[in-house]
Amino acid sequence: MAMALHIPTEPMRSTLRQASHVEHRDANHRLATLAQCQAQALLNATLEASPDAIAAISLQGALVSYNQRFVTLWGFDEASLEQARQGGLWQHCADRLMPDSARCDPGQALLPGMHDELQLLDGRVLECHVSERFLFDRLDCVVLQWHDITRRKRSEQLIWNQANFDALTGLPNRAMLQDRLNQEMIKAERSGYKLAVMFIDLDKFKEVNDTLGHDKGDVLLVEAARRIRDCVRPSDTVARLGGDEFVVVLSELADPRMASDVAHSILDQLAQPFDLCTVEAVISGSIGITLYPQDAQVIEGLFKNADQAMYVSKARGRNQCSYFTRELEVAALRRMELVAELRTALLQGQFFLVYQPIVDVHTGQVRKAEALVRWQHPRLGLVSPAEFIPLAEETGLIIDIGDWVFLEAVSRVKQLRAEHCADFQVSINKSAVQFSRDKGHPGTWIDKLKQHGLPGSAVTMEITESLLVDPNSEVKTTLLRYRDAGIQVAIDDFGTGYSSLSYLKRFDIDFLKIDQSFTRNLAPGSSDLAISQAIIAMSHALGLQVVAEGVETPEQFALLKDAGCDFVQGYWLSRPISAQALGELLQRGAFDLSCLAAA
Question: What DSSP character marks residue 577?
Answer: B
Listed in sequence order, the residues at least 6 apart from 79 whose beta carbon sits closer than 8 Å to its beta carbon are none
Average pLDDT over residues 222-233: 96
User: Is the pLDDT at 19 greater than 80, yes or no?
Assistant: no
Which tens digits make up the pLDDT trace of 337-387? 999 999 999 999 999 999 999 999 999 999 999 999 999 999 999 999 999
Selecting from 3.20.20.70, 3.30.450.20, 3.30.2010.10, 3.40.50.2300, what CATH number does the domain 53-163 have? 3.30.450.20
Alpha helices for 316-353 (secondary structure H): 326-345
Q: Give the orientation angle of helix 299-315 with respect to helix 174-191, to 10 degrees.
A: 110
Amino acid, res. 440: G
Say how far apart CA 566 and CA 590 lie, in whole Å. Answer: 15
User: Is the pLDDT at 23 greater than 90, yes or no?
Assistant: no
User: Is the pLDDT at 4 greater than 50, yes or no?
Assistant: no
- Dihedral over Cα of 447, 449, 453, 454: its sign: negative
Phi, psi (deg, nearest 5) at residue 356: -105, 120
Average pLDDT over residues 432-441: 70
Q: Provide the pLDDT confidence category of residue 35 given band limits of 50, 70 and 90.
A: low
Question: What DSSP character marks residue 273?
Answer: P
Average pLDDT over residues 149-176: 91
Say how far apart CA 599 and CA 596 lie, in whole Å. Answer: 5
DSSP of 159-203, one letter per residue?
HHHHHHB-TTT--B-HHHHHHHHHHHHHHHHHH--EEEEEEEEEE
| Contact between 198 and 288 (Cβ < 8 Å) | yes
User: Is the pLDDT at 595 greater than 70, yes or no?
Assistant: no
Q: Provide the pLDDT confidence category of residue 6 given band limits of 50, 70 and 90.
A: very low
Asked, colleague to colleague, whether 53-163 and 336-598 share their fold, the answer is: no
The Cβ of residue 510 has, within 10 Å, a number of other Cβ atoms equal to: 15
The Cβ of residue 462 has, within 10 Å, a number of other Cβ atoms equal to: 21
Say how far apart CA 279 and CA 301 lie, in whole Å. Answer: 40
| Contact between 187 and 251 (Cβ < 8 Å) | yes
Q: pTM for the full model?
A: 0.60
Which tens digits make up the pLDDT trace of 101-152? 655 444 445 566 677 888 888 889 998 888 887 888 778 888 889 999 999 9
Least confident of 165-169, 419-423, 499-503: 499-503
Which has more pLDDT, 86 or 101? Answer: 86
Fold of 336-598: TIM Barrel (3.20.20)
User: Is the pLDDT at 500 greater than 90, yes or no?
Assistant: no
Q: What is the average pLDDT score of the chain?
A: 86
User: Is the pLDDT at 278 greater than 70, yes or no?
Assistant: yes
Domain boundaries, given as residue ranges, for the chain: 53-163, 165-324, 336-598
Say how far apart CA 92 and CA 585 lie, in whole Å. Answer: 101
User: Is the pLDDT at 498 greater than 70, yes or no?
Assistant: no
| Contact between 89 and 62 (Cβ < 8 Å) | yes
Say how far apart CA 309 and CA 328 lie, in whole Å. Answer: 7
User: Is the pLDDT at 1 greater than 50, yes or no?
Assistant: no
Give the per-residue pLDDT at 2: 42
Q: Provide the pLDDT confidence category of residue 5 given band limits of 50, 70 and 90.
A: very low
Selecting from 3.30.70.270, 3.50.30.30, 3.20.10.10, 3.30.2350.10, what CATH number does the domain 165-324 have? 3.30.70.270
